[in-house]
Amino acid sequence: MITKRVYIDLVDNNYDKKTSLAIGPWCFDNILDPIQIYEKQLNKEIPIININRRKLIKNRKIFFKKYKNLLCDYLKKKNNLKKINYKLLLFYIKIWVFQLHDLLFFCERYVLFLKKKFNKEKILIIKYYKSDEIKEINSLFEFNHKFTEINFISSFIFFLLKKEKKKNWKFKLYNYVIIKKKNYSFLEIYKFFKLKIENLFFSNVIEVYDMYFHQKFILSRLLKKNANA
């Protein structure tokens, strides 16, 4: 019996629709144009994962209720915010927590799909690019950017699949590094200097949510006032 090849992020020359499965349309990004990828989806060559919107929203609330105090305590301890109001902190981290939940929910749908489809089959799970890692994230913008990168999402799916520890599942990580082109656009230069200015004047505010300039200024003043009280 031929071992089925399951591609997590990019297909290789051994890909064959009869003996292989690419879990998402992104697996053909460097090979096919969008129209060809769409045709593969229509032909059911790429699985369509059902994301139940109602269940997603329901689970969001459960997730937030379960972990909100833990996350608030962590942020207070990490940033030395002893006198900060819990309600204020919860207001700012709510979006961040919801988006964290959505990432977990999305990735788990793929894991559940593969578990159901290949529970007793021998498969080789292949990841082409080197697994991405979470580094320090200082703003909701960085958070959104990081958690919507295909390599990060595929890395997390790969990690969750390995955690299943199924004896009939083998794993292959090629560890190719993604080479990103340098972008010196005006927007990137603006973001660079904006971040430098904020770090200089608002060094006591560690941003884990999307705040406007004036909000950072107000929060910075309040924290300094509380620290001097």
**Full residue range of the structural domain in which residue 150 is found:** 1-48+118-180
According to the model, what pLDDT value does residue 95 have?
82
- Domain shared by 130 and 216, yes or no: no
Which of the pair, 77 or 158, is modelled with greater confidence?
Answer: 158
> Rounded CA gap, 150 and 31, in Å?
16
According to the model, what pLDDT value does residue 215 have?
65
- Domain shared by 229 and 129, yes or no: no
pLDDT greater than 80 at residue 153:
yes
pLDDT greater than 80 at residue 160:
yes
According to the model, what pLDDT value does residue 75 have?
77
> Rounded CA gap, 122 and 9, in Å?
20
Q: Is residue 113 part of a domain?
A: no
Domain count, the chain: 3
CB-CB contact of 20 with 6 (8 Å): yes
According to the model, what pLDDT value does residue 1 have?
59
- Domain shared by 58 and 102, yes or no: yes
Which among 144, 199, 204, 155 has a CA at the least distance from the CA of 177? 155
- Domain shared by 85 and 198, yes or no: no
- Domain shared by 58 and 154, yes or no: no
Q: Which residues, other chains included, contact 200 with Cβ-Cβ below 8 Å and sequence gap of 6+?
A: none
Average pLDDT, the chain: 81
Q: Residue 71 — pLDDT band, cuts 50, 70, 90?
A: confident
Report strand pairing: 169-176 vs 123-129: parallel
> Rounded CA gap, 103 and 147, in Å?
7
According to the model, what pLDDT value does residue 28 have?
93
pLDDT greater than 90 at residue 79:
no
As a whole number, mean pLDDT of residues 72-87 equals 78
> Rounded CA gap, 218 and 144, in Å?
24
> Rounded CA gap, 5 and 20, in Å?
5
Q: Residue 200 — pLDDT band, cuts 50, 70, 90?
A: low
Q: Is residue 9 part of a domain?
A: yes
Which among 108, 122, 128, 116 has a CA at the least distance from the CA of 22? 128
Residue type, 217: F
- Domain shared by 123 and 99, yes or no: no
